[in-house]
A and B are shown apart, each in its own frame.
Chain A
Amino acid sequence: MPVWLNNLLLLAGCGVLVALVRGFLFTERSHRALNRLRRDRVGLLCAAMVVLFLLAGLADCVLVNPRQSVLDYAFRNVPREEGYSAPLARTTYSERGAKPLRGWHLMGTDLLGKDVLLQTLKGCRTALIIGGLTSAIYLPLGTLLGILGGYFRGWVDDAVQYLFSTMASIPGILLLVAVMMTLGKGLDRMAIALSLTAWIGLCRLVRGETFRQAAKPYVDAARALGQSQSKIILRHILPNVMHLVIINAILGFSGLVLTETILSYLGVGAPVGTASWGTMIDTARMELSREPAVWWPLASASITLFMLVLSLNLLGDSLRRAFDPKAA
């Protein structure tokens, strides 16, 4: 894909996302929730952390030329070394003939001499793509099926229930590994595989909430006014279940990043050459048993993963509290 097309598509994607979020924020309920969120310091701090991770991920998605992203360009003066080097070391990490390093590496270098900090930051892109692409597939799917089941009930609900009960009865990781083995490696394929199981929880939540909303007088009023069912769903039900979708998306994002890490650890995740925290942790299995041990790639990947997942979970909790009508 040409550089300009890649960047244009990325820009368009960000634009759509911003428009969606803005559209959602203009509802009264969201406005109230945001006001509450502004008073939640932990929530704000976590939001800032998440934004930082997103920016790092985006920096590796935007290309400056066919072979370099913005992140690569920013690290262009950080040279590749001959092999392992410890954080801030001046020589390579070898008992047999250590060689002087060409550059300075805050988090050291890996077996192939690549800067660990850069690899860790590049892991944000993998997390962003997996989280973003999977969410783009499973959120509409889970929401749509949940609303359809909850609103129409009867055989539609039976069909939706049958579908998610069947899917939920298959062990998640095994299903993911099987799908990945069938589809082959690639971030897009991993997103499809993850979407297959990720929609179930959201669908259940939305279905339950739709049951509740559909029994309320404002829906009866809309029916009495002769509004079509599609209008009732899109104008009345959907905005009232969106808070669940947002919270689920935030919490689900961290789950997806963790699952990607697990799949990469199992060797069926990110393809060769794609920086991923899971791959770094998998590699560390060997590195820790080396003598002397190489700990910094594991430390770097684990700490970053921990911080992102913790931030997302705390932000999800803050959002849940902010949207909770009882907290008002």
Chain B
Amino acid sequence: MAAGLAGCDNNPHPRPLHQKRADGQPWVVGYRAIGEDPRSLDPQFSYDTLGNAIIGQLYESLLQYSPFKTNPYELEPCLADGMPRRIENADGSVDYEIRIKKGIYFHNDPCFPGGKGRELKSSDFVYTFQRIADPAVECPVLSTLQEFIRGLGEAYQEARKAGAFDYSKPTGALTVEDDYSFRLHLLKPYPQIQFWLAMAFTTPVPREAVEFYNGKNGREQFKFHPVGTGPYRLDEWARGRLIRLARHERYSATRFPEGGWPETVAATCQPLAGAALPLVDEVQFQVIREAIPAWLLFRQGYLDRSGVGKDVFNSVITAGQTLSEAFKKRGVQLFKDVGPGTFYSQLNMDDPLLGQNQKLRQALSTVYNQTKANEVFGNGIDIKAEQLLPPGVVGFEPDFKNPFRTENVEQARKLIAEAGYPDGINPQTGKPLEITLDVVAGNAESRQRAEFDQMQYEQLGVRIKINENTWSRFQETQLRGLFQMNSGSGWNADYPDPENFFFLFYSKNVPPQGSNYTRFHNEEFDQLFERMATLDNGPERLSVIQRMNAILVEQCPVILTFYPVSFTLSQPWAPRITDNAMLVTGKYTVIYPELREHKIREWNRTPLWPIALLVVGGVAVAVYAVRRARRSIL
């Protein structure tokens, strides 16, 4: 038992792969928590935040967001050798000439001859764009890309007809010039294409890996066995427990920036200027489903970063939204980030009641008290949304006041009376108007939110019927338009451009073609959207954006709720050097392992009094037992 107890400690992590690097330096490990396993690590398919967080470590794109430029966000080359060169053709089409860096290698993997990753070539990008058009891959952004990239739509249709994609036939999207350069052909001007070249969908994947990991003969599927050019390779994926990434031995695409860092992190960045990446050798993502265990591990020092959950908020954050003294003393750092996203409740424009009655939609939008919702559910940190575009995105107007988000109950009651339902009563039936609100009710908090929403809208006199859904059922109702009104929807920017938000209301994006779940259809909006998509940023584009925003405000296809704000805590040994929310890679992460070791020891001192108490108690019992035994012998 003593031996067993001696083997116990608090450390929940498996042993690192190595203790020292080849150069004798300590092997640095990063410890992170994720709530569940990602569904897929196929970059051409995965479209969720969790999947993207892992894919961002394993794969890299032609371009990446500059780590220190966030206002506005700026792109810089990653796999590309310089920024793409735009060439305007006489027929109105546009080409981008792209050169890729030499000496970029895929991860070592058994799918390659001899298990050695080969060099990245232009042909890998041809294959990647073929995968985007392959119906079997189910790339979720094909509908958008095929509007602009030559040949993708046709290749997709041909493959559907034939029943399989013919990879021997070029799509026409790319023309290879040599092993390190190619041209991307666009049907029309589309400046936002550069953002797409920084997204996971366009990251190169090796054909050998996709064909080798086909789920047959005991081999995994490619989506569970990623092979890329990113700073990390997948070393281990124990489902439901751990994802372990190890440094890509031959990574060379980028190095630590030589300058340009903000003053606040200059002391940390200065010694790292020009250093090889990644800075951390191994990253362990622990799958921890519940928030409280993850928080306790962070407090013990076994996780490098943590969010601040609603339940522990008051003990961590003060009324002035600064870090509490207890955490300051520990050296923990607090970061407040406004994510490039917007949350809202959706109104189905195909619904005969809500879709036809603009005043009713405006009344519902006006009455909803987001300020109170933020207080009750968000500890007052989220920012009330007045327009679709969030802060940081071109077109966001800080002083804009939405006339239908005033939270004024009297104004809302007037609007519902003008809508033909005074006091929320349907004059035809004499009964309160009934509206069904679809929600995801997976836990106690989501049920409380639903009840809160119900209370808000019922101030108008209408009756709100809650329809509880699982997440997948909720998504299905959105896809098939089987809802009247729903809450809890939102959009996090794929790229910081208004097009990435307005496309949610473009009529050609009604499911299954896209994500226009409200089924919003407005001819003027559509025309403006098509125009805006082809314009470069400037006064003309800005005026188009403002008009589109005005249409959405007036029409109210959604009830805007909030821009998510998150608090992140960083341990003293893991200083955060970039707050760029668009950058998902962890290659710039800095960790000081000696400090971590020291702090963990300090924070997890084993109290000795229980052992002393046990020993004293044990001795007392033993003495008593011996005495009693002696007495009985006598």
CB nearest to B296 among chain A residues: A289
1/0 contact trace for A158-169 toward B, CB 8 Å?
Answer: 000000000000
Interface residues, chain A, with chain B CB atoms under 8 Å away:
82-83, 94-97, 111-112, 181, 185, 267, 271-273, 279, 282-283, 285-287, 289-292
Q: State A286–B451 Cα separation when bound (angstroms).
A: 17
Given A271-B466, A272-B454, list of 8 further CB < 8 A pairs?
Answer: A83-B375, A96-B314, A96-B319, A111-B448, A112-B448, A282-B444, A290-B311, A292-B314
Across the interface, A283 reaches (CB within 8 A) one of B310, B376, B448, B450, namely B448
A261 to chain B, nearest CB (A): 14
Cross-chain contact B451 with A272 (CB below 8 angstroms): yes
Across the interface, B376 reaches (CB within 8 A) one of A112, A271, A291, A292, namely A112
Q: State A95–B444 Cα separation when bound (angstroms).
A: 23
1/0 contact trace for B287-314 toward A, CB 8 Å?
Answer: 0000010000000000000000011101
Chain A residues whose CB sits within 8 angstroms of the CB of B470 once the complex forms: 181
1/0 contact trace for B484-523 toward A, CB 8 Å?
Answer: 0000000000000000000000000000000000000000
Q: State A167–B374 Cα separation when bound (angstroms).
A: 47
Q: State A83–B372 Cα separation when bound (angstroms).
A: 10
Cross-chain contact B311 with A267 (CB below 8 angstroms): no
Q: State A82–B265 Cα separation when bound (angstroms).
A: 41
Cross-chain contact A289 with B311 (CB below 8 angstroms): yes
Cross-chain contact B447 with A279 (CB below 8 angstroms): yes
Cross-chain contact B319 with A273 (CB below 8 angstroms): no
Cross-chain contact B444 with A291 (CB below 8 angstroms): no
Q: Any chain A CB within 8 A of the CB of B455?
A: yes
Cross-chain contact B314 with A111 (CB below 8 angstroms): no
Cross-chain contact B466 with A272 (CB below 8 angstroms): yes
CB nearest to A292 among chain B residues: B314
Q: State A283–B446 Cα separation when bound (angstroms).
A: 10
Chain B residues whose CB sits within 8 angstroms of the CB of A279 once the complex forms: 444, 447
A-B contact pairs, 16 of them (CB 8 A): A83-B376, A95-B314, A96-B314, A96-B318, A112-B448, A112-B451, A185-B468, A267-B443, A272-B447, A272-B451, A272-B466, A273-B451, A283-B444, A286-B444, A291-B311, A291-B315
Chain B residues whose CB sits within 8 angstroms of the CB of A292 once the complex forms: 314
1/0 contact trace for B317-347 toward A, CB 8 Å?
Answer: 0110000000000000000000000000000
Residues of B in contact (CB 8 Å), total: 29
Cross-chain contact B451 with A95 (CB below 8 angstroms): no
Q: State A290–B379 Cα separation when bound (angstroms).
A: 12
Across the interface, B441 reaches (CB within 8 A) one of A97, A111, A181, A267, namely A267
Q: Any chain A CB within 8 A of the CB of B173?
A: no
Cross-chain contact B455 with A112 (CB below 8 angstroms): yes
Q: State A287–B309 Cα separation when bound (angstroms).
A: 12
Across the interface, A272 reaches (CB within 8 A) one of B318, B376, B450, namely B450
Cross-chain contact A291 with B314 (CB below 8 angstroms): yes
A94 to chain B, nearest CB (A): 8
Across the interface, A290 reaches (CB within 8 A) one of B314, B443, B444, B455, namely B314
B361 to chain A, nearest CB (A): 23
Q: Any chain A CB within 8 A of the CB of B452?
A: yes
Cross-chain contact A272 with B439 (CB below 8 angstroms): yes
CB nearest to A113 among chain B residues: B376
Cross-chain contact B466 with A267 (CB below 8 angstroms): no
Q: Any chain A CB within 8 A of the CB of B442?
A: yes
CB-CB contacts below 8 Å: B453-493 with A: 454-455, 466, 468, 470
CB nearest to A291 among chain B residues: B315
Q: Any chain A CB within 8 A of the CB of B178?
A: no
Q: State A210–B454 Cα separation when bound (angstroms).
A: 52
Chain A residues whose CB sits within 8 angstroms of the CB of B455 once the complex forms: 112
A134 to chain B, nearest CB (A): 21
Q: Any chain A CB within 8 A of the CB of B9?
A: no
Q: Any chain A CB within 8 A of the CB of B399?
A: no
Q: State A273–B372 Cα separation when bound (angstroms).
A: 19
Q: Which 9 pairs, one residue from A and one from B, show the smallest C-beta to C-beta distance? A: A291-B315, A96-B319, A283-B444, A272-B466, A290-B311, A272-B450, A282-B444, A289-B311, A95-B314
Q: State A306–B245 Cα separation when bound (angstroms).
A: 50
Q: A96-B314, A291-B315 are in contact. Are A272 and B444 (CB under 8 A)?
A: no
CB nearest to B441 among chain A residues: A272
Q: Any chain A CB within 8 A of the CB of B23?
A: no
Q: State A220–B578 Cα separation when bound (angstroms).
A: 91
Chain B residues whose CB sits within 8 angstroms of the CB of A94 once the complex forms: 314
Cross-chain contact B468 with A95 (CB below 8 angstroms): no
Across the interface, B454 reaches (CB within 8 A) one of A96, A273, A282, A290, namely A273
Q: Any chain A CB within 8 A of the CB of B445?
A: yes
A218 to chain B, nearest CB (A): 54
Chain A residues whose CB sits within 8 angstroms of the CB of B450 once the complex forms: 272-273
Chain B residues whose CB sits within 8 angstroms of the CB of A83 once the complex forms: 375-376
Chain B residues whose CB sits within 8 angstroms of the CB of A96 once the complex forms: 314, 318-319, 379-380
Chain A residues whose CB sits within 8 angstroms of the CB of B314 once the complex forms: 94-96, 290-292
Q: State A316–B442 Cα separation when bound (angstroms).
A: 36
A292 to chain B, nearest CB (A): 7
B565 to chain A, nearest CB (A): 16
Q: State A292–B445 Cα separation when bound (angstroms).
A: 18
A195 to chain B, nearest CB (A): 22
Chain A residues whose CB sits within 8 angstroms of the CB of B454 once the complex forms: 272-273
Q: State A97–B443 Cα separation when bound (angstroms).
A: 28
Q: State A283–B450 Cα separation when bound (angstroms).
A: 14
Cross-chain contact A112 with B466 (CB below 8 angstroms): no
Chain A residues whose CB sits within 8 angstroms of the CB of B447 once the complex forms: 267, 272, 279, 283
Q: State A97–B455 Cα separation when bound (angstroms).
A: 23
B633 to chain A, nearest CB (A): 51
Q: State A123–B443 Cα separation when bound (angstroms).
A: 19
B479 to chain A, nearest CB (A): 19
CB-CB contacts below 8 Å: B362-403 with A: 372, 375-376, 379-380
Cross-chain contact A95 with B448 (CB below 8 angstroms): no
1/0 contact trace for B157-170 toward A, CB 8 Å?
Answer: 00000000000000
CB nearest to A283 among chain B residues: B444
Chain B residues whose CB sits within 8 angstroms of the CB of A267 once the complex forms: 441-444, 447
Q: State A141–B238 Cα separation when bound (angstroms).
A: 48
Q: State A97–B470 Cα separation when bound (angstroms).
A: 36
A281 to chain B, nearest CB (A): 9
Chain B residues whose CB sits within 8 angstroms of the CB of A95 once the complex forms: 314, 319
Cross-chain contact A111 with B376 (CB below 8 angstroms): yes
Q: State A292–B451 Cα separation when bound (angstroms).
A: 24
CB nearest to B443 among chain A residues: A267
Q: State A159–B450 Cα separation when bound (angstroms).
A: 46
A326 to chain B, nearest CB (A): 48
Q: State A282–B441 Cα separation when bound (angstroms).
A: 13
Chain A residues whose CB sits within 8 angstroms of the CB of B379 once the complex forms: 96
CB nearest to A97 among chain B residues: B319
B336 to chain A, nearest CB (A): 16
Q: State A267–B445 Cα separation when bound (angstroms).
A: 11
Chain B residues whose CB sits within 8 angstroms of the CB of A287 once the complex forms: 311
Q: State A289–B468 Cα separation when bound (angstroms).
A: 26
Chain B residues whose CB sits within 8 angstroms of the CB of A82 once the complex forms: 372, 375
